[in-house]
Chain A
């Protein structure tokens, strides 16, 4: 059942050709060096097609450990891409609601609020006005100085901060923002955002 659902995602088809279980992906994987994570096992599990095992994977933290650097795509001697398989598993986990059963999966709501909402508000995936050193202490004191003087610094650098027309950090016109919003509605992003909000509150 889950294999059929995964096959509806072209990333799954592209990502799983025929895994020979050599473990090269795990050897090169930055996530495997940091987490208890093994992309070889993920490829093996989905290739075996056992529904119970795939369901466990969909409910686990495991699929959320990948950093999507895609180093595995470069190195696989059989042209598989465990990173693409993970993308398909994550999408299915969200669709089925299984992401709520893992701590890492439940972080999707926070990402939606920190990236998704910013895209809908500004048209950028990140925006200087919304980044605080409280949540991002690694930004350092330079960031507090930049935030306190954003307008004057950006003017010196020739940016067009919140201005109309082209340029660095310009304000994106309403007509363009409307097109972005309509694309999000047409292609399911808005529905996914609503799902993350609704289910995250339950």
Chain B
């Protein structure tokens, strides 16, 4: 294959990521379950990379969870998406970066629908105008926030305080990368590496010294399933899918799991606790779980951020085994202190899953 052909062939596995001036669209799930991660992302972009990011107070849910649970019509989601783009226009930005993988899929799906069915774009314009008086234009660049960290992974590596290396043995940490389904399975051409070779997380892991674990169920869904999780009676679906992944990755002894989707991070953390309490089964070393990190937390640890200021005390699976392996200095007592340094009490311990 000649160079021109190679370039053409691989183009569909690459994507353009804007260099600066981002309009940040927050994630409902990430804000609620990993409330320190979005602040960590903004700190990395602004203070470490020197980028301009606009954090808009006027945005709302994209309705993605409701859309995929079939409680709102597609036209509602389209019009809410149009309003978010209108807010971006109003703020003077062109590069839209959603924090949530479901949202990334939603924005991409609505833009593709408008392209394939132009009459839906006209209808959306009318609905948005009638409801809010607003007009909108599309972003010039739409990427997921993990794409931004991927783009600047080598700069972060150059500024790293810690590496994804076991300090005691000098060997790379074994890292499971879990990419949210809606990052590249709906629109493979919109994800770095497509659906076949997604590199958004493995690129970060490799750049920061770790070793990515390839295991049989690597690309299997975490099992969220929207209505399959939201309704308690259906939740076995969600749990079973995550269990399938844990059972598959266990022989490879991962030191931690990293995900770019906030929902996946949450489920893979909480289902380990559930499986431990229901069946007495734990997947980490010595009765602990496998720590599950957001990609912001992984980047923050590498850069030497305080784990307790990033909110890592809100994981049900303790992260201390990982911090110790990386040789990160932290104060165990700070985990249970408020912003003023006062002790706020400690959580109850699970019956089976060992925690710090």
Q: Do A and B bind each other?
A: yes
B interface residues, Cβ below 8 angstroms from A: 26, 28-29, 31-32, 35-36, 38-39, 55-61, 63-66, 68-76, 78-80, 83, 105, 113, 116-117, 120, 127-128, 130-132, 134, 181-182, 184-186, 188, 195, 220-221, 223-228, 230-237, 239-241, 244, 270-271, 273-274, 308-311, 313-316, 337-339, 344-350
Closest residue of B by beta carbon distance from A83: B186
Q: Are A10 and B221 in contact (CB under 8 A)?
A: no
Q: Are B344 and A157 in contact (CB under 8 A)?
A: no
Chain A positions 95-149 with a Cβ under 8 Å from a chain B Cβ: 104, 107-108, 110-112, 114-116, 119, 123-128, 131, 135-146, 148-149
How many residue pairs link A and B with beta carbons under 8 A? The number is 260
CB distance from B214 to the nearest CB of A (A): 18
B residues near A179, Cβ cutoff 8 Å: 83, 131-132, 134
CA distance A33 to B239 in the complex (A): 13
Q: Are A188 and B75 in contact (CB under 8 A)?
A: yes
Closest residue of B by beta carbon distance from A171: B57
Chain A positions 147-202 with a Cβ under 8 Å from a chain B Cβ: 148-149, 152-159, 164-170, 172-173, 176-177, 179-180, 182-189, 192-193, 196
CB distance from A48 to the nearest CB of B (A): 23
The 7 A-B pairs with the shortest beta carbon distances in the complex, nearest first, are A67-B225, A145-B347, A152-B338, A141-B348, A157-B36, A182-B131, A189-B76
1/0 per residue A14-56: CB within 8 Å of B?
A: 1000000000000000110111000000000000000000000
Set A143, A157, A164: member contacting B39, Cβ < 8 A: A157
B residues near A140, Cβ cutoff 8 Å: 270, 273-274, 316, 350
A residues near B71, Cβ cutoff 8 Å: 108, 111-112, 115-116, 189, 192-193, 196
Closest residue of B by beta carbon distance from A128: B32
Q: Are B309 and A158 in contact (CB under 8 A)?
A: yes
Set B35, B56, B64, B73: member contacting A91, Cβ < 8 A: B73
CB distance from B150 to the nearest CB of A (A): 20
B residues near A177, Cβ cutoff 8 Å: 60
Q: Are B61 and A124 in contact (CB under 8 A)?
A: yes
B residues near A116, Cβ cutoff 8 Å: 66, 71-72
CA distance A139 to B267 in the complex (A): 9
CA distance A166 to B24 in the complex (A): 11
A residues near B56, Cβ cutoff 8 Å: 166
A residues near B337, Cβ cutoff 8 Å: 156
A residues near B232, Cβ cutoff 8 Å: 135-136
CA distance A52 to B110 in the complex (A): 32
Set A69, A91, A141: member contacting B181, Cβ < 8 A: A69
